[in-house]
Amino acid sequence: MTNSPKLGIGLLDVGQSQKEVTVNEALLRMETLLAGVLTQAQNTAPVSPNNGDAHIVGTAPTGAWAGKALNVAFYIAGSGWRFIAPVNGMATWLISNNTRLVFYSNAWSALNELPALTVGTNLLINGHFAFWQRGTTLTPNDNAYAADRWRFLAESNGAATLTQETTTLPAGFGSGCRLTVAIANQKFGVLQWIEGQNGSRALNQQVTLSVRLAAAGSTLTTARIAIVQFTGTRDNVSVDPISAWNAAGTAPTLAANHSYVAQSADITLTSTYQTVSVTGTVGSSMSNLGVLIWTEDKTTTITTDILRISGVQLEVGSIATPFENRLLSAEELLCQRYCQIIGNGFVGVAAGTTSFEGMEKFRVRMRAAPSASVIAGIACSMRASGDASAATPGLNAPTTSQNSIWTQITGFSGLTTGTAMQSRNISSSEFILLTAEL
């Protein structure tokens, strides 16, 4: 005899004898849930129960209810106690309190107490890879940022080329990440750490990671996903979290103060996107929570193989809910807390014939005072009474706060000291990279 997938109700088999036993048991289970329970969180069975009495078992049951924590226990005269194991979404009526109870995330809660504000909210930023301020095609070093908020990890620098995916995508998505093998037979992947304060609501809670994955090529066929946690100093997560990538089929060994909250088994990739998920419980000492997605093939990959990722979501709770599509304008602002590209808004004066001195205010207050660097290959143009251009601009002693930058931009010639100037780029490309990443 087989059982139903949710409530474990026995299903009739062809030619089964004594069908009434199976049918009656199913009716008793349904009646119990529909008619309601007498008490909630009781750990000891009543001494003299009435036929049909039902209770929600507590978290530390003993005696006849031992090992049945949170089950619905119901009594049948002449047969004894029977039990219904709860599943997410199961509901019943608490008679003693006139309250509707719903089971969710390993707990029975009154309907008006469910955590509606937090469950279903994506803790990750740029989970659909819509924003790539550093460039939409990159071959980064190990442990370097690529798409906004996503760090590339690999056995060797440049092991893969990351490109914003805009054509081959899961239904309902407009962007993703395409990782093309650049060095054969090496594991690689992407990681995102959540800022400590944002992830704190997951402490001691179940969390679920869901990812859309696909592949192209005949030899990159396996990937894994994982939820990871860091227990060191909050937000001090700049080190490479992987100490050893290990052989194919063996998960990477994590560095000190890093551990897996949950990880999948090997996922067999195809050209069609599939949604995969894992659930785990976050520890009480977690400082930062993160997600890791990586390839497991190490002996057969070639440089035409592709891993595709989109729709990455990490949420509190044990259910993978539909991907949260925030407004693109809101997602962009979230990204800019950690990274901004600026340069077209400087105002100031010529500090000499070769440099301009001025400041620019940031679009969004950044997580911390950012580091500032010039993006190679972008010229800087300044406007005063006439235009001046620096083909290879530089920054001299930039001073930053969470809100603005003051610096000298060097590389010009023929400026008149003290002349008021404003930056403008003929190509519209801004040239200063600000980073305040974790």
d(CA 312, CA 221): 19
Over residues 357-364, the mean pLDDT reads 92
Write out pLDDT tens, residues 83-133: 999 988 889 989 887 788 888 878 888 765 444 434 448 999 999 999 999
Q: How many angstroms separate the CA atoms of 401 and 368, rounded? A: 7
- Mean pLDDT, residues 280-291: 97
Number of other CB atoms surrounding residue 396 within 10 Å? 12
Q: Domains in the chain, ordered, with CATH?
A: 19-113 (no CATH), 137-326 (2.60.120.260), 337-435 (no CATH)
The per-residue pLDDT for 313 is 96
Of the listed ranges 289-303, 328-342, 384-398, the least confidently predicted one is: 384-398
| The pair of three-digit structure tokens given for residue 181, joined into one six-digit string | 């093998």
Do residues 367 and 436 make contact, with C-beta atoms less than 8 angstroms apart?
Answer: yes
Which whole number is the average pLDDT over 344-350? Answer: 86
pLDDT of residue 345: 80
Q: What's the predicted TM-score (pTM) here?
A: 0.74
| CA 315 from centroid of its chain's CA atoms | 7
Q: What is the mean pLDDT of residues 190-212?
A: 95
* Residue 6: predicted pLDDT: 66
Model pLDDT, residue 390: 83
pLDDT above 70 (res 257): yes
pLDDT of residue 117: 39
Query: How close are the terminal C-alpha atoms of the chain, in Å?
Result: 54
Put residue 231 in one of left, alpha, beta given phi > 0 → left and psi -120 to 50 → alpha.
alpha
Tell me the average pLDDT of the chain.
90
Q: What is the pLDDT of residue 119?
A: 42
- pLDDT in the model for residue 115: 46
pLDDT (0 to 100) of residue 44: 95
Q: Are 97 and 106 in contact (CB under 8 A)?
A: no
- pLDDT for residue 384 is more than 90: no
Q: What is the pLDDT of residue 266?
A: 96
Which band of pLDDT confidence, cut at 50, 70 and 90, is reported for residue 159? very high
Please say if the pLDDT value at position 382 is more than 90. no
pLDDT of residue 116: 43
Q: Which of 197-206, 239-248, 330-339, 379-388 has the lowest mean pLDDT?
A: 379-388
pLDDT for res 123: 96
Looking at residues 218-235, what average pLDDT do you find? Answer: 96
Q: What percent of the chain has a predicted confidence (pLDDT) above 70? A: 94
Q: What is the pLDDT of residue 171?
A: 93
